[in-house]
Structure 1
Amino acid sequence: MKKSVILILFIILISSSFIFFKGQAKDDRFITYEVDLNDKEVKLYWKDEKDNNFKSIQNLKNWLETKDQTLLFATNGGMYKKDNTPQGLFIENFETKSNIDTLSGNGNFYLKPNGVFYIADNNQAKIDVTENFNLKKNIKFATQSGPMLVINNIIHSAFNENSKNLNIRNGVGVLENGNIVFAMSKKEINFYDFATYFKKLGCKNALYLDGFVSRTYYPEEKWIQTDGNFGVLIGITNK
């Protein structure tokens, strides 16, 4: 009897420890959303059927409601030019609407390597370094941004652990089980700490989306930011 009680207590302790350590991956400094592509619909949006830019999450939310769809989660999906056109590659419903950018330049987008986040028609998501990206006909959605945060499980070499370059940041990663994870910092943070968070979550590859302008809509967590003036938006609805 005593041995049985000890065994049960041991199992409870181990289980509790597992939950505790597993929970350490998530961090209260971030809004985090994990999504299974087989369960939810993940799409990239730029313009409506009248060729009007959505620009804000609120506009996207309103438009989806006219289609009897409920927006579950949304965030801005990459950098954009002054006229709200996507910077770099943008593919929507298999159509390339903005070409890939392999040039060099200034700013976060060009802090090489940058990368491409994309979803194929087989419901598989992936993030590739731009130089390794292969444009295929089966790519349904894609957005290019930069810099990469994590590359093959290694934090971008340009990031410094004690950097004072602090900003609000949002990004996307792909987990080993194929799920997509989005994260946005609630407060200003440096690139190294942001990349470290994605690595702790289990992302071998993660991509920076944007900085201080970033917005995230996640009503389930009572995080509702629907303003903004963006290019590409990422929206998630039920299938």
Structure 2
Amino acid sequence: MKKRLLFTLITVLFLSSFILFEKYNQNNLFITYEADLNEKEVKLYWKNENDINYKSLQALKDWLHNKDEELIFATNAGMYKKDNSPQGLFIENFETKAQIDTLKGNGNFYLKPNGIFYITNKNEAKIHTTENFEINKNIKYATQSGPMLLINDNIHPAFKKGSKNLNIRNGVGVLKNGKVVFVMSKNEINFYDFANYFKKLGCENALYLDGFVSRTYLPEKKWIQTDGNFGVIIGITNK
């Protein structure tokens, strides 16, 4: 009996230590932020009312501050062209401001399947591959990027375990409970491991946003990056 109790105690201690180690390890590898769209205002920003591109997270933060709104999270929302215009589909407040890109090409954006992150008029966050996406009047915000990280719970088939293609990366996923989760790697990481982290979080679909240019603003976790020279930005405030 004593041996059995001792074995059980050792097992519990081991599992507890492992869980704490995993949590500590993940906290040191990633900046992760979950948002309930019924509690937080998740929007995509490109230009202000004067048709001036925000470009940096600081500019968006200042603009919101002038409107008595507090930015609680921000990150770049996908790839962009040299003039800081969105690469691929961009919908803002139900208005399509950049058309969907279904062409073939080089680079991460065109590593098919790529995909679209969007928010509906019912505050539902969704991610679909570009080929399975249909524009409709109920889409309030949308941004296209690529490649997909997870497609229906499967890691993108082009990603290789142990790949030496390392980079800073940020992405977005949707959890089974409907919450949206944003992740940025603190250090360089390959696509496979980055996608696998979204899988561990419980996402079925996740989309890569961008690489080494990425920035994330999350003061509650003491992660404050406010620079950048972006196209579209994801910004979150309280409702």
Using structure 2 for the length normalisation, give the TM-score: 0.91
1:162 CA displacement: 1.0
**1:84 match:** 84
In 1, distance between residues paired with 2:68 and 2:95? 24
Q: Counterparts in 2 of 1:10-25, with a 5 A limit?
A: 17=16, 20=19, 23=23
In 2, distance between residues paired with 1:143 and 1:131? 14
Q: Counterparts in 2 of 1:194-213, with a 5 A limit?
A: 194-213=194-213
1:59-107: CA deviations, max 9, x gaps?
Answer: 0000000110000000000000000000000000000000000000000
| Structure 2 residue 122 is matched with structure 1 residue 139 | no
Structure 1 residue runs of 5 or longer lacking an equivalent are 1-5
Q: What SS does structure 2 have at the residue aligned with 1:128? A: strand
In 2, distance between residues paired with 1:182 and 1:145? 14
Q: What SS does structure 1 have at the residue aligned with 2:197? A: helix
1:182-213: CA deviations, max 9, x gaps?
Answer: 00000000000000000000000000000000
1:25 CA displacement: 9.5
1:174 CA displacement: 0.1
In 1, distance between residues paired with 2:41 and 2:26? 23
Identical counterparts, % of pairs? 72
| Structure 2 residue 215 is matched with structure 1 residue 215 | yes
1:139-178: CA deviations, max 9, x gaps?
Answer: 0000000000000000000001111010000000000000
**1:99 match:** 99
| Structure 2 residue 69 is matched with structure 1 residue 69 | yes
**1:172 match:** 172
Structure 2 residue runs of 5 or longer lacking an equivalent are none
Q: What SS does structure 2 have at the residue aligned with 1:178? A: coil
**1:40–1:81 distance in 2 versus 1, CA, 3 Å:** same
Q: What SS does structure 2 have at the residue aligned with 1:42? A: strand
In 2, distance between residues paired with 1:162 and 1:190? 8
**1:3 match:** none
The residue type paired with residue 150 of structure 2 is V
| Structure 2 residue 105 is matched with structure 1 residue 108 | no
In 1, distance between residues paired with 2:24 and 2:102? 37
In 2, distance between residues paired with 1:157 and 1:195? 11
- The question of whether the paired residues in 2 share the 8 Å contact of 1:89 and 1:144 is answered with yes
- The question of whether the paired residues in 2 share the 8 Å contact of 1:74 and 1:236 is answered with yes
In 1, distance between residues paired with 2:50 and 2:236? 21
Q: What SS does structure 1 have at the residue aligned with 2:28? A: coil
In 1, distance between residues paired with 2:160 and 2:32? 23
In 1, distance between residues paired with 2:150 and 2:25? 16
- The question of whether the paired residues in 2 share the 8 Å contact of 1:45 and 1:235 is answered with yes
In 1, distance between residues paired with 2:160 and 2:203? 19
| Consecutive aligned runs of 4 or more in structure 1 exceeding 6 Å deviation | none
The residue type paired with residue 208 of structure 1 is Y
In 1, distance between residues paired with 2:44 and 2:70? 15
Using structure 1 for the length normalisation, give the TM-score: 0.91
Question: RMSD across aligned C-alpha pairs, in angstroms?
Answer: 2.0
Q: What SS does structure 2 have at the residue aligned with 1:174? A: strand
Aligned length: 229
The residue type paired with residue 86 of structure 1 is P
The residue type paired with residue 146 of structure 1 is G
Q: What SS does structure 2 have at the residue aligned with 1:192? A: helix
- The question of whether the paired residues in 2 share the 8 Å contact of 1:25 and 1:197 is answered with no
In 2, distance between residues paired with 1:153 and 1:24? 25
